[in-house]
Chain A
């Protein structure tokens, strides 16, 4: 698979505020790529640079190998689904969908067929003559998607397209978007700050913070092997502890030696350790690697969530079996569930450079 889109050393300043710093990103053809990160980290800015609405101060944007950095948005072979739908209120559903097709001079017959096809694709068959302002949020979102895809863009850009929908509708639309992506066979670049959405939908997740890419990989990769404490805390719940890598495959946490599978950190090196709450195994006191006492218990539906005081640390634990508050328990962790990360040397470095 070749790169359909490439950002090379892109930087952008807004009033002396460096929003993107030397950002490099390669998007493979036909992937569902998600830009994930907290509010203000530069996701929208990145997407708008790809769409052509913002020109980067430095760096280049390549589309199928060609430099499009200075090409205006109306000349780019990509379409955007805007966060607030941005449907034209003075046009019907059908006229909205036809907007791009009319500009490219398609025949009336072609346009009619395309409207029909697109409405079918988003499950809104009979809506062509409706007034867009009368549609619900979810319906408007679908029309916005239909309006973008009828132009057969090679890349579809979506900026938090589900942000304004309620939870149930969001989940339905997530599946619909995945289905659409597979049916159309085009590249999706999707922006969200919802980590669950990112993990559910994407082939590739790009975790961003303060204008830097923190980590890029498959959802499994990002979740199971976070490269730094930021990614670990941002994606899912986690226990992040300071530890000392005694040697390859052995780490000391809270004074206890845990076997692990990581190598190459050197000897007696301070590191950060991530252990996911569902990877902590509780058992009868004295029978695990460490002993502690349950201090909190919440029923979460699929599992129980507990806090366990052990070794002076409050462990977050998720388990399908319940241990009441006050009960002495043991904790153990399988070696391959212990994720070791380099410790940032300073505060600044936390937001720093991860080359991809």
Chain B
């Protein structure tokens, strides 16, 4: 096994170029000013009203998105576990099919669907129903997030659910448990690792997204991701962008640490 160590070399190079070096660069820029002197200003900039609001909104929308995904995905996991039989794989395939389409395209499609004179309102209008005004609101952003990230919740939950031995469920019923007790005392604790990794896989990309808020928020909804993106691109202030990125990373790490506390065995965590 040890002889084959060189096989890991490409992977190490990849980690080095893809993760370590960029991370070091961000840390460097985050703690320096335009002239290259050490400063904490880029970090403390998070306290600016505009930045703090964007971070708060990002955390809030990501949280709502995560909860909605969980509430949608868990019943799917339960139903797939109980029914579907040999068709399980196919149903999961259908559910995660959107994942195979380009992320930008998917989000853009929602923009077209939700627009005030878009597809949905066209249909509503032809049915003589009131049009919906949802585009460019936080609700539209959450909708886009849920649509984009739901498969990342379904997959890990389905995976742990499918592995739960049916004998355990029967044993619980045999010992007098009601359906509700089986859910709370057996299914939920046993599927916790899947729930945790699902939450991680949805929350992290949701809190950092800027594409969804840009497309579906119509430039009116600023999430921390949008601010950072603008600092790097429009304003060319990579120092401020790096500093804010570091703050966001810390928030994500704190969320993950809190989350992992629920997961005794740490099996499900991916961080």
Which residues of A pack against B, CB within 8 Å? 51, 53, 72-74, 79-80, 82, 84, 86-90, 99-100, 103-104, 147-148, 151
B176 and A51 form a contact (CB under 8 A):
no
* Contact of A73 (CB < 8 Å), options: B168, B173, B181: B173
Q: Is B35 an interface residue (CB 8 A)?
A: no
B175 and A147 form a contact (CB under 8 A):
yes
Find the A residue at minimum CB distance from B178.
Answer: A74
B-chain residues with CB within 8 Å of residue A80 when the two chains form the complex: 170-171, 174
Which residues of chain B (151-191) have a CB below 8 Å from chain A? 165, 167-168, 170-178, 181, 185-186, 189-190
Most A Cβ at <10 Å: residue of B167, B176, B178: B176
Find the B residue at minimum CB distance from A97.
Answer: B175
Find the A residue at minimum CB distance from B165.
Answer: A86
* Contact of B170 (CB < 8 Å), options: A86, A87, A147: A86
B176 and A104 form a contact (CB under 8 A):
yes
What are 29 A-B pairs with beta-carbon distances under 8 A? A51-B174, A53-B170, A72-B173, A73-B170, A73-B173, A74-B174, A74-B175, A74-B177, A82-B167, A82-B171, A84-B167, A86-B167, A86-B168, A86-B170, A86-B171, A88-B168, A88-B171, A90-B190, A99-B172, A99-B175, A99-B177, A100-B176, A103-B177, A103-B178, A103-B181, A147-B175, A148-B175, A151-B175, A151-B176
- A79 to B170 Cα, complex, angstroms: 11
A73 and B174 form a contact (CB under 8 A):
yes
Give the size range of B's interface with the partner.
10 to 19
* Whole-angstrom distance between the Cβ of A313 and the nearest chain B Cβ: 47
| Prevailing SS type, chain B contact patch | helix
Find the B residue at minimum CB distance from A80.
Answer: B174
- A89 to B187 Cα, complex, angstroms: 11
Most A Cβ at <10 Å: residue of B167, B168, B171, B173: B171
- A147 to B171 Cα, complex, angstroms: 10
A-chain residues with CB within 8 Å of residue B170 when the two chains form the complex: 53, 73, 80, 82, 86
- A100 to B175 Cα, complex, angstroms: 5
* Whole-angstrom distance between the Cβ of B102 and the nearest chain A Cβ: 40
Closest 8 CB pairs of A and B: A100-B175, A86-B167, A86-B171, A73-B173, A103-B176, A90-B189, A80-B174, A74-B173
- A219 to B189 Cα, complex, angstroms: 45
B-chain residues with CB within 8 Å of residue A99 when the two chains form the complex: 172, 175, 177, 185
- A89 to B170 Cα, complex, angstroms: 14
Say whether, besides A53-B170, A73-B173, A89 and B190 are in contact (CB < 8 Å).
yes
B-chain residues with CB within 8 Å of residue A87 when the two chains form the complex: 171
Find the A residue at minimum CB distance from B166.
Answer: A86
B-chain residues with CB within 8 Å of residue A89 when the two chains form the complex: 168, 190
Most A Cβ at <10 Å: residue of B165, B167, B175: B175
Find the A residue at minimum CB distance from B164.
Answer: A89
- A87 to B189 Cα, complex, angstroms: 14
B-chain residues with CB within 8 Å of residue A100 when the two chains form the complex: 175-176
- A84 to B167 Cα, complex, angstroms: 8
| 19 further A-B pairs in the complex, CB-CB below 8 A; given A88-B171, A151-B175 | A51-B174, A72-B173, A73-B170, A73-B174, A74-B177, A79-B174, A86-B167, A88-B186, A90-B189, A90-B190, A99-B172, A99-B175, A99-B185, A100-B176, A103-B175, A103-B178, A104-B176, A147-B175, A148-B174
